Chain A
Amino acid sequence: MTFIKKPIFRHPSLPKNDLGLTYRDYEGLVSTLCAGCGHDSITASIVQSCYDLSLPAHKIAKLSGIGCSSKTTNYFLNQSHGFNTVHGRMPSVATGANLANRDLIYIGVSGDGDTASIGLGQYCHAIRRQLNVTYIVENNGTYGLTKGQFSATNDKKSKNKKGADNPFGAIDLALMAIELGAGFVARSFSGDKEQLVPLIKKAIAYNGFSLIDVISPCVTFNNHPHSTKSYDYIREHNTAMGELDFVPEKENIQAKYSEGESVDVTLHDGNSINLQKLDGNYDPRDQDKAVSILRKYRGEGKVVTGLLYINEDANEMHETLKTSTTPLNAIPMNDLCPGIDELDKLNKSYT
Chain B
Amino acid sequence: MMKPTDIKNPSYFHKVVDCQWACPAHTPVPEYIRLIAQRKYTEAYMVNWESNVFPGVLGRTCDRPCEPACRRVRVEETPVAICRLKRAAADNKSDITEHLPDIPKTKNGKKIALIGGGPASLTVARDLMPLGYDCTIYEKDPKAGGLMRTNIPSFRLPEAVIDEEVDTILDFGVIKKFNQEVTSLKDILDQKYDAIFVGTGAPKGKDLNIKNRYEAEAIENIHIGIDWLTSVAFKHVDKIGKKVVVIGGGNTAMDCCRSSLRLGGLDVKVTVRSPKSDMKASDWEIEEAELEGVPILDNHSPKEFVIENGKLKGVLFEKMIAEYDANGKRKLISSGEDPVLLECDDVILAIGQENAFPWVEKDIGIEFNEWGQPTVDKITFQSSLPNVFFGGDAAWGPENIIWAVAHGHQAAISINNFCENIDLNERPDPITNLLSQKMGIHEWSYPNDISNSNRFAVPHTDHSHALSSIEVEVELGYDEKLALEESKRCLNCDIQTVFTENLCIECDACVDICPVDCINFIENDTEESLRLKLKVPALNTDQDLYISDNLKTGRIMAKDEDMCLHCGLCAERCPTGAWDMQKFTYIEAHTEESKILNYVE
| A residues in contact (CB < 8 Å) with B | 1-15, 24, 30-31, 34-38, 40-41, 43-44, 190-191, 193, 217, 219, 223, 231-232, 235
- B565, A7: Cβ atoms closer than 8 Å: yes
- B75, A12: Cβ atoms closer than 8 Å: yes
- B508, A2: Cβ atoms closer than 8 Å: no
Closest to B449 in A: A4
Closest to A37 in B: B509
- B537, A13: Cβ atoms closer than 8 Å: yes
Within 8 A of A (CB), among B159-203: none
- B505, A14: Cβ atoms closer than 8 Å: no
- A36, B573: Cβ atoms closer than 8 Å: yes
* B171 nearest CB across to chain A (Å): 46
When chains A and B are docked, how far (Å) is the Cα of A13 from the Cα of B74? 10
By a CB distance below 8 angstroms, the chain A residues around B518 are 11
- B575, A34: Cβ atoms closer than 8 Å: yes
- B576, A36: Cβ atoms closer than 8 Å: yes
Over the window 495-529 of chain B, the binary record of Cβ atoms lying under 8 Å from chain A Cβ atoms (1 yes, 0 no) is 00000000001111101110111100000000000
The list of the 3 closest CB pairs from A to B, nearest first, reads: A36-B575, A9-B75, A44-B512
Within 8 A of A (CB), among B560-574: 563, 565, 567, 569, 572-574
- B450, A235: Cβ atoms closer than 8 Å: no
Task: Specify which of B74, B506, B507 lies most central, judged by the most chain A CB atoms within 10 Å of its CB.
Answer: B507
B442 in contact (CB, < 8 A): yes
By a CB distance below 8 angstroms, the chain A residues around B3 are none
By a CB distance below 8 angstroms, the chain A residues around B74 are 12
Assuming the contacts A2-B573, A4-B448, asked whether A231 and B515 have C-beta atoms less than 8 A apart, the reply is no
- B569, A2: Cβ atoms closer than 8 Å: yes
B592 in contact (CB, < 8 A): no
Given A6-B569, A13-B539, A35-B509, output 8 extra A-B contacts at Cβ < 8 Å: A2-B513, A7-B567, A10-B75, A15-B536, A30-B513, A41-B507, A191-B506, A235-B552
| B residues in contact (CB < 8 Å) with A | 74-76, 442-443, 448-450, 452, 505-509, 511-513, 515-518, 536-537, 539, 552-553, 563, 565, 567, 569, 572-576
- B511, A44: Cβ atoms closer than 8 Å: yes
B contact patch SS? loop
26 contacts between A and B (CB under 8 A): A1-B442, A2-B513, A3-B443, A3-B572, A4-B569, A6-B567, A6-B569, A7-B450, A7-B567, A9-B515, A11-B563, A14-B536, A30-B513, A34-B575, A35-B573, A36-B505, A36-B507, A40-B508, A40-B512, A41-B508, A44-B511, A44-B512, A219-B507, A223-B505, A231-B505, A232-B552
Closest to B568 in A: A4
Contact of B553 among A12, A223, A235 (CB under 8 A): A235
By a CB distance below 8 angstroms, the chain A residues around B448 are 4
By a CB distance below 8 angstroms, the chain B residues around A11 are 75, 516-518, 536, 563
* A158 nearest CB across to chain B (Å): 18
When chains A and B are docked, how far (Å) is the Cα of A26 from the Cα of B445? 32
- A7, B442: Cβ atoms closer than 8 Å: no
Assuming the contacts A36-B505, A43-B512, A193-B508, asked whether A9 and B76 have C-beta atoms less than 8 A apart, the reply is yes
* B496 nearest CB across to chain A (Å): 17
By a CB distance below 8 angstroms, the chain A residues around B450 are 7
- B511, A9: Cβ atoms closer than 8 Å: no
* A122 nearest CB across to chain B (Å): 30
When chains A and B are docked, how far (Å) is the Cα of A291 from the Cα of B454? 59
Closest to A193 in B: B508
- A2, B512: Cβ atoms closer than 8 Å: no
* B499 nearest CB across to chain A (Å): 15
When chains A and B are docked, how far (Å) is the Cα of A4 from the Cα of B567? 9
By a CB distance below 8 angstroms, the chain A residues around B508 are 40-41, 44, 190-191, 193
Task: Specify which of A3, A31, A34, A232 lies most central, judged by the most chain B CB atoms within 10 Å of its CB.
Answer: A3
- A6, B507: Cβ atoms closer than 8 Å: no
When chains A and B are docked, how far (Å) is the Cα of A14 from the Cα of B536? 6
* B451 nearest CB across to chain A (Å): 10
* A34 nearest CB across to chain B (Å): 7
- B449, A9: Cβ atoms closer than 8 Å: no
When chains A and B are docked, how far (Å) is the Cα of A6 from the Cα of B512? 11
When chains A and B are docked, how far (Å) is the Cα of A4 from the Cα of B74? 21
By a CB distance below 8 angstroms, the chain B residues around A9 are 75-76, 452, 515-516, 565
When chains A and B are docked, how far (Å) is the Cα of A35 from the Cα of B573? 4
Closest to B567 in A: A7
When chains A and B are docked, how far (Å) is the Cα of A247 from the Cα of B509? 28
By a CB distance below 8 angstroms, the chain B residues around A31 are 513, 573
* B581 nearest CB across to chain A (Å): 12
When chains A and B are docked, how far (Å) is the Cα of A9 from the Cα of B516? 7
- A3, B573: Cβ atoms closer than 8 Å: no
By a CB distance below 8 angstroms, the chain B residues around A35 are 509, 572-575
By a CB distance below 8 angstroms, the chain B residues around A2 are 442, 513, 569, 572-573
Assuming the contacts A35-B574, A35-B575, A36-B574, asked whether A3 and B509 have C-beta atoms less than 8 A apart, the reply is no
- A8, B452: Cβ atoms closer than 8 Å: yes
Assuming the contacts A13-B537, A34-B575, asked whether A6 and B513 have C-beta atoms less than 8 A apart, the reply is yes
- A231, B507: Cβ atoms closer than 8 Å: yes
Assuming the contacts A7-B452, A231-B505, asked whether A41 and B574 have C-beta atoms less than 8 A apart, the reply is no
* A4 nearest CB across to chain B (Å): 4
When chains A and B are docked, how far (Å) is the Cα of A5 from the Cα of B565? 13
- A191, B75: Cβ atoms closer than 8 Å: no
By a CB distance below 8 angstroms, the chain A residues around B512 are 40-41, 43-44
When chains A and B are docked, how far (Å) is the Cα of A4 from the Cα of B572? 10
Closest to A15 in B: B536
Task: Specify which of A2, A6, A30, A34 lies most central, judged by the most chain B CB atoms within 10 Å of its CB.
Answer: A2
By a CB distance below 8 angstroms, the chain A residues around B575 are 34-37, 219
- B509, A36: Cβ atoms closer than 8 Å: yes
* B46 nearest CB across to chain A (Å): 30
Closest to A9 in B: B75
By a CB distance below 8 angstroms, the chain A residues around B511 are 44
When chains A and B are docked, how far (Å) is the Cα of A90 from the Cα of B11? 55
By a CB distance below 8 angstroms, the chain B residues around A8 are 452, 515
